[in-house]
Amino acid sequence: MSKKKKPTSNTIALNKKARHEYFLEEKYEAGLALQGWEIKSIRDGKVNLSDSYVIIKDGEAYLLGSQIQPLNSASSHVVCDPERTRKLLLKKRELATLIGKTEREGYTLVATALYWKKCWVKLEFYLAKGKKSHDKRDSIKDRDWAREKERMLKHKAR
């Protein structure tokens, strides 16, 4: 009897700068239209999501700015473009709401995480508004104050 071990985390890649640069409001999940060599590279962990975002063009959503580095052992007859735009698989209703909010209300779509869901690769992205520099300072101050509060409560409990 051999039991398959489940991996501890399904996360492939994170965009940590997104929380610092944007106010993240609504969360969305989408599948990605990928090629075979991209799946092999993703399994090997050769993905970078920093500076990646989602655009909507001709009624369809695309992921831009992400990098999937090809493996050295990739087939020679396949042309590997690490920075190609990848189509996102969304429902029409979700696309309609995203189009409305990005065009009318000035939101942007920021990719935050890439992860496995069963055997599929999913992209987590948020409807977001950009932060100004004073907003960033405020969020840093709030985070530091929360950390200090935790320390004070921990020492008081002892």
Q: pTM for this structure?
A: 0.75
- Helix (H) or strand (E) holding 68, with range, is strand 67-68
Greater confidence (21 vs 5) lies with 21
Considering the chain, what is the average pLDDT of its residues? 85
In a domain, 144, yes or no: no
Greater confidence (79 vs 53) lies with 53
Q: What is the pLDDT of residue 94?
A: 92
- Tens of pLDDT, residue by residue over 60-81, are 999 999 998 888 775 666 778 8
Range of the domain at 63: 11-131
In a domain, 32, yes or no: yes
131 Cβ contact list (under 8 Å, min separation 6): 20, 21, 22, 23, 139
The answer on pLDDT for 6 being more than 70 is no
In a domain, 117, yes or no: yes
- Provide the percentage of residues in the chain whose pLDDT is more than 90: 32
The answer on pLDDT for 111 being more than 90 is yes
Q: What is the mean pLDDT of residues 116-123?
A: 91
Q: What is the pLDDT of residue 121?
A: 92
Among candidates 2, 12, 7, which has minimal Cα distance to 46?
12
Q: What is the pLDDT of residue 7?
A: 53
In a domain, 143, yes or no: no
Three-state SS across 131-156? CCHHHHHHHHHHHHHHHHHHHHHHHH
How many separate domains does the chain show? 1
In a domain, 136, yes or no: no
Reduced to 3 states, what is the DSSP secondary structure of residue 113? strand
In a domain, 2, yes or no: no
Lowest mean pLDDT among 2-11, 24-33, 132-141: 2-11
Q: Which residue has the tokens 């104050």?
A: 145
CB neighbours of residue 15 within 10 Å? 23
In a domain, 148, yes or no: no
Cβ(124)–Cβ(10) below 8 Å = no
By residue count, the chain amounts to: 158
Question: Any idea what the CATH number is for the domain that residue 50 is in?
Answer: 2.40.280.10
Amino acid of residue 13: A
In a domain, 150, yes or no: no
Reduced to 3 states, what is the DSSP secondary structure of residue 43? helix
